[in-house]
Amino acid sequence: MELLSHPLYMAPVALYAKLYSATGLLIDGDTPFVKQTFRNRCVIAAENGPLSLNIPVVHDGGRTAMRNVRISEHGNWRRQHWNAIVSAYRNSPFFDYYADDFAYFYEEHDGFLMDFNLRLHSTVCELLGLDREIRILTAEEIKEHTAADVCDMRHIAEPKALAACTVNTQPYYQVFAQRHGFQPNLSIADLLFNMGPEGLITLRGSCL
C-alpha cells in the first residue's frame, strides 16, 4: 500500500512511521495551500519546550495550489530556523554527523515551498536508510486511487489532527526529556538528530 500526503516541512514522526510500512509516497500537489499547517511549519524540541518553525510564503488567499506556492525571503527566516535547530540539537548524539546535510537547505534560496519540502524529505530518507519512491499526483490522478490502494495521511498536515493521530510513536531518546518528558510526533529532524540510523528501528516499532 502507498502513502498519500501533502508535501510537509520536515514532517512529524507519525508520517514516517506510516511510510516505513508503505511501498511508496504519493504527494498531493494540487490541493490549495492552507496556512498554519505543517505544509510550512515544523515543531522541534527546544530547551524551553516545543518550538514551532514557520516558513513565510507568498500565496493568493488560499486559492494557490500547493505546487505553486513560493517561499518568501523576507525576515531572514533561514538563519532563524537554522539557529533554532543548532540550539536545540547541538548536544544530540548525531547532530555533528548530519549538520552539514541540513545546513545546506538554510543557505540557498528556493523558489517553491513544495520543492524545498520534498528535497528535505529525500535527504531525511537517505540519512535514515528509508528508500521509498515518491510520485507527485494531480487531483485527477488521486481520484483514480481507492482506499484499498492508498493510506491517506493528508489530514495530519493539520496540528489538531496530528494531536489526535492514532499512530503510537515509540518513545526514543530526546535531549530535553528529563526536563519536559518525552514529546511525541515532533519533526522527523528530532528523531534523526537524536537516534541517527537507529531511528529506523523507532519507526518500525511505531507502526506495529
Q: Return the number of other C-beta atoms located less than 10 Å from residue 115's C-beta.
A: 14
Q: Is the pLDDT of residue 166 over 70?
A: no
Enumerate the domain spans of the chain. Answer: 2-206
Chain segment 33-50, per-residue pLDDT in tens: 998 999 999 999 999 999
* R_g of the chain, CA atoms, integer Å: 16
pTM, rounded to two decimals: 0.94
Instruction: Please tell me the predicted confidence (pLDDT) of residue 63.
Output: 81
The three state secondary structure string of 141-164 is HHHCCCCCCEEECHHHHCHHHHHC
Q: Is the pLDDT of residue 26 over 90?
A: yes
pLDDT, tens only, 110-165: 689 999 999 999 999 999 999 999 999 998 999 888 777 899 999 999 999 988 87
